[in-house]
Amino acid sequence: MPGAPARFFSQGTIAAAVLTLAFLAAPAVSSAGTADFAVAVRAGTPGVGLDLDLGLSPSFGMRVGFAGFNVNHNINTSDVNYEGRLKLRTITGLLDWYVFRGAFHLTAGVAGNGTKLDVVGQPTQGSYTINGATYSSSQLGSLSGELKFGNSVSPYVGFGWGNPAGDSGRVHFLFDVGAIYGGTPSVTLTAQCGPAAPPGSPLCNQAQSDVASEQAQLRHKADILQWYPVVSLGIGVRF
């Protein structure tokens, strides 16, 4: 999607984080020769994306990347069925430490996380049941919501296998496991009253109150997403 990274993340913040990683790795670079460069394609829980890898020394490497994907999935709560659209958008700036100067590495860095979930409530047999109350589709015209992470820039920690910019061959298979701490997710749920319950009427006010209770239930269920798991497989080519 053209321009998507610019809409979701502060480019200055990501650039500053990448520069910080480079500064931390400077002692390793000073003793290394010409850095090796690699391009890697990865697919996993953050989506499908591309990494640019820089081999700073036999012990350290740095990478920046972008991954994204759209997933449609239905979500069922105790009262409402939702059509969900998960939009994965992640920019990363990571430092890899190859502990034994081999393929195994420990990873730390930052992730610009624009992942969000858009939902649209669907009536069951022409009605919505919200917080135990039932409303016809003419009383409650639409129900939609959004879930997104609390932090737009988050820390990442993990480990993995594979050094795409390493000297032992040109093609490398890659595997990473880690987690992004996205903070407490924010949840919004919005309802539009229909012609049978015009705005300001007691029935519309009651519906809005029930929607607020439904939002609180969704917010409670979303707490599990403070840590977003990262599992990815990939292949890298060194140049």
Greatest alpha-carbon pair distance for the chain in Å reads 74
List phi, psi (to 5°) of 99. Answer: -55, -45
Where is 203: in which H helix or E strand? helix 202-222
Per residue in 15-68, pLDDT tens? 455 445 555 544 544 444 455 899 999 999 999 999 999 999 989 999 999 999
Q: Say if residue 89 is exposed, middle or buried (CB neighbours under 10 Å; 0-12, 13-18, 19+).
A: buried
Domains of the chain: residue spans and CATH:
4-238 (2.40.160.170)
Are the C-beta atoms of 43 and 145 separated by less than 8 Å?
Answer: no
Cα gap 93→18, rounded to integer Å: 5
Cα gap 95→157, rounded to integer Å: 10
Residue 77 — very low, low, confident or very high, per pLDDT cuts 50/70/90?
A: low
Residue 14 — very low, low, confident or very high, per pLDDT cuts 50/70/90?
A: very low
Are the C-beta atoms of 55 and 236 separated by less than 8 Å?
Answer: no
- 140: β partners: 193
| pLDDT of 12 higher than 70 | no
Cα→Cα distances 140→90, 125, 144, 193, Å: 35, 13, 11, 4
Residue 78 — very low, low, confident or very high, per pLDDT cuts 50/70/90?
A: low
Mean pLDDT, all residues of the chain: 84
The model carries a pTM of 0.75
- How many CB atoms within 10 Å of residue 76? 8
Per residue in 154-197, pLDDT tens? 999 999 999 998 777 889 999 999 999 998 888 999 999 999 99
| pLDDT of 108 higher than 90 | yes
What are 63's two structure tokens? 């990478």
